[in-house]
Amino acid sequence: MAEPTQDQVRGHSFDGIEEYDNRLPNWWLWILYGTIVFSIGYWLAFQTVSLFPQPKDRLAADMKRAQEAQLARMAEGGPSNESLNMLAGMADKVAEGRKLFQTHCVACHADQGQGLVGPNLTDPNWIHGGAPVDIHRTVTEGVAAKGMPAWGSQLGPQRVDLVVAYVLSIRNTNVAGKAPEGDVYTGE
């Protein structure tokens, strides 16, 4: 081992034990400075100007894509209880459904779905069945004799799915309104 040349002994001694005042090697210092510069660039790119998406946003986007793909697979054989319930669990779909409901349905079912001319959609009672596929069928085909329009042809299948997702999201929230009609539905 080569004898260190620039080392200085610091000015204290404990029980005869002394300490070198070693200078940090340049390679070590440059790595330190490099990490500081890198951290500033990283912070600016990710947190300040958002040049790159945050990992949590990338994850959310991936999850959404996966969900959409799963929905598309499930919807191949037409809407099922499973696919409609899944749709009803997705906040953005329910929000789109809410908009459609406000445009097309509140005139007869009231703003919270508590019923006016049409029945209360928030109680556990259903005239035409409370399973997701039953609700989907009623909305699609309507009940001409009672004044419920057929929405399948007016909205198209995609928007019917969305508005049904919203109806499913307000099921059993029991908003005070029109008295219950039909049979209690206890399934999912």
Q: Which is nearer to ligand HEC, 8 or 103 (CB)?
A: 103
CB neighbours of 113 closer than 8 A, spacing ≥ 6? 101, 105, 120, 121, 122, 167, 170, 175, 177
Q: Which is nearer to ligand HEC, 79 or 119 (CB)?
A: 119
Least distance from ligand HEC to the Cβ atom of residue 147, Å: 4
**Residue bearing tokens 């499913």:** 168
Q: How far is it, in rounded angstroms, from Cα 122 to Cα 81?
A: 18
Q: Which is nearer to ligand HEC, 46 or 125 (CB)?
A: 125
**Residue bearing tokens 């997705």:** 90
Least distance from ligand HEC to the Cβ atom of residue 151, Å: 5
Q: Which two tokens stand for residue 24?
A: 């940090």
Least distance from ligand HEC to the Cβ atom of residue 173, Å: 14
Least distance from ligand HEC to the Cβ atom of residue 182, Å: 5
* Nearest Cα residue to 101 out of 123, 124, 75, 122: 122
Q: Which is nearer to ligand HEC, 50 or 153 (CB)?
A: 153
Residues binding ligand HEC (CB under 6 A) = 104-105, 107-109, 117-119, 121, 126-128, 135, 138-139, 143, 146-149, 151, 163, 167, 181-182
- How many CB atoms are closer than 10 A to CB 87? 25
